[in-house]
């Protein structure tokens, strides 16, 4: 960013270990391998920089509509009966719940693609899932990349038969250790293994037809630092050594010469034969203390693609390669858009998966950092992102959880999650939190048409007739790049260009210093003008039960009456919130489709335009809106005079309610299809 408002971006496409040092007037890259493949994006504005970056790495995945609802998870749910109680409690508390999640607790001995026969038996789990689906709700489970080394366990046996696992430097199955004990890791970089991975997911969907997958531990995370020693493993050695022999028999050559050549080509130079990739001559700041590169992960001489790629070069791409395989499998099997959340990502991951920002802590610092993380991932091309609401580690408090849901309700991906060592923190557990949760999630669900439209714009390549759009939530400087006062603000953010969220992220605070960029701003709650011209910092009351929300003049926000699920919300009529700028103008749009189809050719896109005393809707697309609810009300803010009557396409609108205090009008008592052009005029 430059003070003039001009922006540019620099991208080094490199998968090796890198130190990046930001100085006062320099950006220094120190990479230990790969190529110096630089891209320069000339903007000239921030949103344009991200747009151009996405043209290189891939446009973001279009999520299913339901995934934009509120999600709940916990590590430590002991059985299916507990899941049922949690869902019922959310319903009793009248807090929207779209999706229930389960961590590794549901697995049999923590093995992927299994169900614990005692605590999560298949018959009870399918009944639970049927009940969720009948209520318009969904279910997501975790899957780790470590496949338990155990003869008779189908994913392991089939992986051996299909040569699907990463190898050690000798060409044997690399042995790590994660939750189920000794594990092998699927070699997702080898596209031949994608059919193996799809087979495992297909078998699991026959066991339990979940709606999405959560891919975790995919850095790759390993409880050992490098290959695990198995000398003291009772009952495991036979399976391990047997597997090694089978792999050796199926792979008599291991491309050793190519491996050595790759080391030289990958930036290590013409090193001596004894070069150790785990401890290269230059040590990046791994783990913050220059730890060996295999710390809690694989050895750097582990082999991908039957020896064609070293872990040294490929390590950072594992999460991306797993996301590609998982996305492909789910879309092939379900024939609709996938929903995946991944812990590890790389440039391009956003085309296949969303992201959550990992295991945070129940602290106000981590609450504040979650806003930064959400905005960073918009820049990274992964707009479907959020943090564990109320914190993962440590027990939360009423104040912290209340403040966190006031932020988390507006993450693009909104999920409450915590670990089994902390007190449960479902939003209904405290009356104060439940009250605020109902309020802010109701607001979220009412503006889901806006979120969905923003995802569509980020997903769709920009055209000359479509304004640049690459992000769903945005830092203030994205919309106000020439206002240097916005550059350092990270505790306020925008939803698209139109809605500004200013949450409290400081313990004990009951006020908030809110910066209003240069524009006309309206208060979300009372719809009055909060700031006429902007460019000012104002200290506003922000009691514990209140999150500050403002609407930017000049924009039209598509809304729907909120329900307890997205299925219910999508059946309700549409409304428009029109916030006029100082010239009496505003514009906006909405994208409509069935919310899940891979083929997005059957859609409706409506452009809204307001000037002085008329509002028009111009429709394009193939007419999806013919089967969607009608538009039934319009609220116009910032009028310069009273309104007493209005017409829709020349016909009188029966309900016209003008508020002289807020200078706004509510037009209702009509219905018009969003499949056809319309004009509303008031006077």
Domain ranges of the chain: 573-682
**596-628: per-residue pLDDT in tens?**
999 999 999 999 999 989 999 999 987 787 788
Cα–Cα distance for residue pair 231/217, rounded to 1 Å: 25
Catalytic residue among 157, 359, 581, 596: 359
- The H or E element that residue 615 is part of is strand 614-621
Cα–Cα distance for residue pair 449/499, rounded to 1 Å: 13
The structure tokens 């299916």 sit at 80
Residue 238 has pLDDT above 60, yes or no: no
Closest CA to 680 of 527, 553, 578, 555: 578
Reported as a pLDDT band with limits 50, 70 and 90, residue 461 is confident
Catalytic residue among 19, 108, 219, 594: 219
Residue 164 has pLDDT above 60, yes or no: yes
Closest CA to 311 of 35, 29, 15, 36: 15
Catalytic residue among 103, 112, 144, 216: 216
The helix/strand/coil state of 375 is helix
Cα–Cα distance for residue pair 293/287, rounded to 1 Å: 9
pLDDT value of residue 274: 66
Is the separation of the CB atoms in 324 and 349 below 8 Å?
Answer: no
Reported as a pLDDT band with limits 50, 70 and 90, residue 273 is low
Residue 263 has pLDDT above 70, yes or no: no
pLDDT value of residue 246: 36
Dihedral angle, C-alpha 10, 13, 15, 16, nearest 10 °: -60
pLDDT value of residue 239: 46
Cα–Cα distance for residue pair 359/14, rounded to 1 Å: 26
279, two tokens? 């401890």
Dihedral angle, C-alpha 434, 440, 441, 446, nearest 10 °: 150
Is the separation of the CB atoms in 293 and 279 below 8 Å?
Answer: yes
Residue 428 has pLDDT above 60, yes or no: yes
Cα–Cα distance for residue pair 207/121, rounded to 1 Å: 10
Task: Give the global pTM.
Answer: 0.94
Residue 236 has pLDDT above 90, yes or no: no
Is the separation of the CB atoms in 615 and 634 below 8 Å?
Answer: yes
Residue 262 has pLDDT above 80, yes or no: no
| 244 carries an active-site annotation | no
| 331 carries an active-site annotation | no
- CATH number corresponding to 573-682: 2.60.40.1180
| 219 carries an active-site annotation | yes
Beta strands 678-682 and 646-648 are antiparallel
- The H or E element that residue 578 is part of is strand 574-579
Contacts of 592 (CB under 8 A, 6+ apart): 449, 603, 604, 605, 606, 621, 624, 625, 628, 674
Reported as a pLDDT band with limits 50, 70 and 90, residue 103 is very high
Cα–Cα distance for residue pair 362/347, rounded to 1 Å: 29
Is the separation of the CB atoms in 523 and 547 below 8 Å?
Answer: no
Cα–Cα distance for residue pair 148/53, rounded to 1 Å: 38
Average of per-residue pLDDT values in the chain: 92
Average of per-residue pLDDT across 120-148: 98
Closest CA to 455 of 355, 542, 384: 384
Cα–Cα distance for residue pair 165/306, rounded to 1 Å: 9
Q: Please list, residue by residue across 528-567, b when 16 or more beta carbons sit within 10 angstroms of its beta carbon and e when fewer do.
A: ebbbeebeeeeeeebebebbbbbbbbbbbbbbbbbbbbbb
Helices (H), 521-636: 566-569
| Residue 180 CB coordination number (10 Å) | 21
| Residue 163 CB coordination number (10 Å) | 18
pLDDT > 70: percent of the chain: 93
């Amino acid at each position: 960013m430059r003070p003039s408002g001009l922006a540019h971006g620099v991208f080094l496409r490199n998968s090796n270990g890198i130190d990046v040092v930001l100085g006062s007037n320099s950006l220094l890259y120190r990479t230990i391998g790969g190529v110096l493949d630089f891209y320069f994006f000339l903007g000239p504005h921030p949103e344009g920089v991200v747009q151009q970056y996405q043209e290189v790495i891939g446009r973001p995945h279009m999520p299913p509509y339901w995934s934009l609802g509120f999600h709940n998870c916990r590590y430590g749910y002991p059985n299916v009966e507990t899941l049922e109680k949690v869902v019922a409690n959310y319903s009793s508390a009248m807090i929207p719940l779209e999706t229930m999640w389960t961590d590794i607790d549901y697995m049999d001995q923590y093995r992927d693609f299994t169900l614990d026969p005692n605590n999560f038996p298949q018959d009870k789990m399918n009944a639970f899932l049927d009940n969720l689906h009948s209520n318009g709700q969904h279910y997501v489970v975790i899957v780790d990349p470590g496949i338990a080394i155990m003869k008779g366990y189908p994913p392991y046996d089939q992986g051996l038969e299909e040569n699907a696992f990463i190898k050690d430097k000798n060409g044997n199955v690399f042995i790590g250790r994660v939750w189920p004990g000794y594990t092998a890791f699927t070699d997702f970089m080898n596209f031949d293994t994608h059919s193996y991975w799809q087979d495992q997911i297909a078998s699991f969907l026959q066991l339990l037809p979940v709606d999405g997958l959560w891919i975790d531990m995919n850095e790759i995370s390993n409880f050992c630092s490098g290959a695990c020693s198995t000398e003291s493993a009772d009952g495991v050695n036979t399976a391990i050594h047997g597997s090694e022999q089978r792999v050796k028999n199926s792979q008599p050559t291991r491309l050793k010469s190519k491996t050595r050549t790759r080391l030289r080509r990958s930036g290590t130079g013409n090193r001596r034969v004894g070069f150790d990739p785990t401890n290269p001559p230059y040590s990046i700041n791994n783990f913050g203390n220059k730890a060996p590169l295999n710390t809690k992960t694989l050895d750097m001489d582990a082999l991908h693609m039957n020896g064609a790629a070293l872990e040294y070069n490929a390590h950072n791409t594992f999460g991306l390669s797993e996301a590609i395989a998982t996305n492909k499998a789910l879309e092939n099997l379900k024939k609709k858009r996938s929903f995946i959340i991944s812990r590890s990502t790389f440039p391009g991951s956003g085309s296949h998966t969303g992201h959550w920002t990992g295991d945070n802590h129940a602290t106000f610092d981590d609450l504040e950092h979650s806003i930064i993380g959400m905005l960073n991932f918009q820049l990274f091309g992964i707009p479907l992102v959020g943090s564990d609401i109320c914190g993962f580690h440590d027990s939360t408090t009423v104040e912290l959880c209340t403040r966190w849901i006031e932020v988390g309700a507006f993450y693009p991906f909104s999920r409450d999650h915590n670990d089994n060592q902390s007190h449960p923190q479902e939003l209904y557990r405290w009356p104060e939190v439940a009250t605020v949760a109902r309020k802010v999630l109701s607001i979220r669900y009412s503006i889901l048409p806006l979120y969905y439209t923003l995802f569509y714009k980020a997903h769709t390549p920009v055209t000359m007739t479509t304004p640049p759009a690459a992000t769903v939530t945005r830092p203030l400087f994205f919309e106000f790049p020439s206002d240097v006062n916005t550059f350092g603000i990270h505790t306020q953010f925008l939803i698209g260009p139109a809605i500004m969220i200013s949450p409290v992220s400081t313990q004990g605070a009951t006020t908030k210093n809110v910066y209003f960029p240069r524009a006309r701003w309206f208060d979300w709650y009372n719809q009055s003008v909060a700031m006429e011209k902007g460019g000012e910092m104002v200290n506003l009351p922000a009691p514990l039960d209140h999150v500050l929300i403002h609407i930017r003049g000049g924009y039209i926000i598509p809304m729907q009456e909120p329900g307890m699920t997205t299925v219910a919300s999508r059946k309700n009529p549409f409304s428009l919130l029109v916030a006029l700028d100082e010239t009496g103008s505003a514009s906006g749009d909405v994208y409509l489709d069935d919310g899940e189809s891979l083929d997005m050719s059957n859609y409706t896109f409506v452009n809204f335009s307001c000037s002085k005393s008329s509002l028009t809707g111009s429709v394009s697309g193939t007419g999806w809106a013919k089967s969607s609810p009608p538009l039934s009300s319009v609220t116009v803010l910032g009028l310069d005079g009273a309104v007493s009557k209005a017409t829709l396409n020349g016909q009188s609108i029966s309900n016209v309610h003008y508020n002289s205090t807020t200078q706004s009008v509510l037009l209702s008592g009509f219905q018009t299809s969003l499949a056809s052009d319309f004009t509303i005029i008031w006077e």
